[in-house]
């Protein structure tokens, strides 16, 4: 397909979606909201073929190739004709995009042995959108490498289809309603530690059998998500209770959990369309057993994930964006305000974040070749530990990514899983010299 035809299919430029608007303002050379999804195949990856697959994938999912530009009032995304090179993977994932290495691209594709990883700036898409991008790319790579075409599914798009405007719509204003919930919240207990080596995001991965995990969760009468969240909250509670600063220890620990809004609305967008719920445990009010925490997570999340409450939460952001005053402010002023707001409130409302992408169902032909998937959330700006989970082919991969040396949180979580009778294999990105 010629560039001209492609240009006709995809818009020349796009406004940022409602959730994406915060990221360029808070971005700096030092920090950027980046996350990473990867697929590990059963054989080393052929880079030349992957490059070709990327080219076709970008034609089908054009908005992933866009660059970020500053307008007078807002940032926007603009079509560009270049395609990123396939890069070597690095020991420290999720570093900010670099002009030199990444040009103007908002994502990078990297290869290490049999693993294909996409590291992406949150301004383009949320994890569901990027998962579609990565799996479509992988399916095309597998077709080029082994022949048969992978059948299309919800997460694997058919490259012979034309891109569709519904795939890059901003679904937030479309589904927002008039009423909004107040956004202010209680500050959360802040996790602190010794800063790790500069510019080195440490990753500790725990691998668990999905069926065994599901069985444990069922034993408690909860979902895997609730079960994992409860273990993390339990560990956070224990950490907070041992904190020597009474001022800090008084604050509730809160685990932020993203919610995929496509579950509620018939949106086909591949850009940002998720919200979040900050699950609190008030550890200073008394002792909590694991069952107490499970119970509270189950019911609090059940309550908060009601469509009405979810809607009222993101509707507030949509109203804020549409306010006349904010819209008319020049970009640099807006950026200053957003930066300040993010610095003051952004990460204060949660102690850590756990994003569970759940079970990824791969089409036949692809499942055979995929050994593993990982979801790594880049370091927070101030919160030092984030957790990304994904399950594929019978294994669940729990990635702790952190900017502090202490491994207290993941140690407690994984030990608790072991005590619960699960078999956990642990791996890290530490450099094994000598």
Residues that bind another protein (CB under 8 A): 28-30, 88-93, 95-96, 98-101, 112-113, 199-200, 203-207, 332, 335-336, 339, 407, 410-411, 414-415, 418-419, 423-432
Sheet holding 75-78, edge to edge: 13-15, 75-78, 67-70
Q: Is 335 helix (H, G, I), strand (E, B) or coil?
A: helix
Sheet holding 370-377, edge to edge: 86-88, 107-112, 115-121, 34-41, 370-377
Which of 277, 413 has the CB closer to another protein? 413
For the bound state, the minimum distance from the C-beta of residue 204 to another protein, rounded and expressed in Å, comes to 5
For the bound state, the minimum distance from the C-beta of residue 12 to another protein, rounded and expressed in Å, comes to 26
Which of 119, 140 has the CB closer to another protein? 119
For the bound state, the minimum distance from the C-beta of residue 140 to another protein, rounded and expressed in Å, comes to 24
For the bound state, the minimum distance from the C-beta of residue 98 to another protein, rounded and expressed in Å, comes to 5
In this structure, what token pair is assigned to residue 367?
A: 């499942």
For the bound state, the minimum distance from the C-beta of residue 391 to another protein, rounded and expressed in Å, comes to 18
Q: Is 202 helix (H, G, I), strand (E, B) or coil?
A: strand
For the bound state, the minimum distance from the C-beta of residue 22 to another protein, rounded and expressed in Å, comes to 16
Which of 152, 404 has the CB closer to another protein? 404
Give the residue among 14, 127, 126, 34 at the shortest CA–CA distance from 75.
14
Contacts of 268 (CB under 8 A, 6+ apart): 164, 166, 167, 169, 262
In this structure, what token pair is assigned to residue 280?
A: 């609190």
Which of 59, 372 has the CB closer to another protein? 372
- CA neighbours closer than 13 Å in the CB half-sphere of residue 419: 8
CB 117 within 8 A of CB 54: no
Which of 349, 400 has the CB closer to another protein? 400
For the bound state, the minimum distance from the C-beta of residue 305 to another protein, rounded and expressed in Å, comes to 31
CB 206 within 8 A of CB 425: yes
The CA-atom distances, in angstroms, between 364 and each of 153, 174, 354, 358, 393 are 10, 35, 29, 19, 11
Which of 38, 57 has the CB closer to another protein? 38
For the bound state, the minimum distance from the C-beta of residue 428 to another protein, rounded and expressed in Å, comes to 4
Which of 12, 88 has the CB closer to another protein? 88
Contacts of 91 (CB under 8 A, 6+ apart): 200, 429, 431
Which of 67, 112 has the CB closer to another protein? 112
For the bound state, the minimum distance from the C-beta of residue 433 to another protein, rounded and expressed in Å, comes to 8
Which of 88, 161 has the CB closer to another protein? 88
- With helix as H, strand as E and coil as C, how does 162-193 read? CCCHHHHCCHHHHHCCCCCCCCCCCCCCCCCC
Q: Is the dihedral of CA 126, 325, 308, 387 positive or negative?
A: positive
């Amino acid at each position: 397909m010629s560039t001209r035809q492609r240009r006709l299919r995809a818009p020349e430029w796009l406004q940022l979606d409602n959730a994406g608007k915060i990221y360029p303002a808070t971005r700096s050379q030092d920090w950027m909201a980046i996350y990473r999804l990867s697929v590990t195949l059963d054989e080393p990856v052929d880079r030349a073929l992957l490059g070709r697959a990327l080219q076709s994938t970008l034609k089908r999912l054009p908005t992933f190739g866009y660059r970020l530009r500053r307008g007078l009032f807002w940032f926007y995304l603009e079509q560009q004709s270049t395609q990123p090179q396939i890069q070597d993977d690095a020991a420290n994932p999720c570093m900010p995009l670099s002009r030199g290495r990444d040009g103007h691209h908002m994502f990078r594709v990297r290869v290490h042995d049999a693993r294909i990883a996409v590291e992406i700036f949150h301004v383009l898409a949320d994890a569901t959108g990027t998962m579609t991008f990565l799996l479509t790319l992988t399916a095309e790579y597998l077709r080029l490498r082994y022949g048969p075409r992978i059948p299309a599914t919800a997460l694997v798009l058919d490259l012979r289809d034309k891109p569709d405007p519904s795939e890059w719509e901003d679904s937030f204003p479309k589904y927002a309603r008039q009423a909004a919930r107040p956004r202010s919240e209680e500050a959360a207990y802040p996790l602190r530690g010794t800063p790790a080596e500069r510019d080195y995001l440490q990753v500790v991965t725990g691998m668990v059998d999905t069926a065994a995990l599901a069985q444990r969760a069922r034993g408690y009468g909860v979902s895997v998500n609730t079960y994992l969240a409860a273990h993390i909250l339990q560990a956070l509670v224990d950490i907070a209770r041992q904190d020597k600063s009474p001022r800090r220890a008084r604050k509730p620990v809160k685990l932020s959990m993203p919610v995929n809004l496509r579950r509620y609305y018939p949106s086909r967008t591949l850009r940002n369309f998720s919200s979040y719920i900050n699950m609190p445990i008030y550890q200073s009010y008394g002792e909590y057993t694991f069952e107490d925490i499970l119970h509270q997570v189950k019911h609090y999340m059940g309550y908060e994930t009601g469509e009405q409450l979810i809607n009222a939460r993101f509707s507030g952001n949509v109203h804020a964006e549409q306010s006349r005053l904010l819209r008319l402010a020049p970009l640099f002023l807006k950026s200053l305000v957003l930066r300040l707001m993010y610095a003051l409130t952004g990460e204060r409302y949660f102690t850590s974040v756990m994003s569970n992408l759940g079970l990824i169902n791969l089409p036949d032909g692809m499942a055979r070749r995929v050994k593993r998937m990982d979801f790594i959330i880049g370091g927070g700006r101030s919160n030092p530990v984030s957790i990304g989970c994904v399950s594929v082919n019978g294994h669940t991969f729990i990635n702790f990514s952190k900017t502090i040396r202490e491994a207290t949180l993941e140690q407690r979580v994984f030990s608790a899983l072991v005590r619960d009778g699960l078999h956990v294999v642990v791996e890290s990105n530490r450099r094994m010299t000598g």
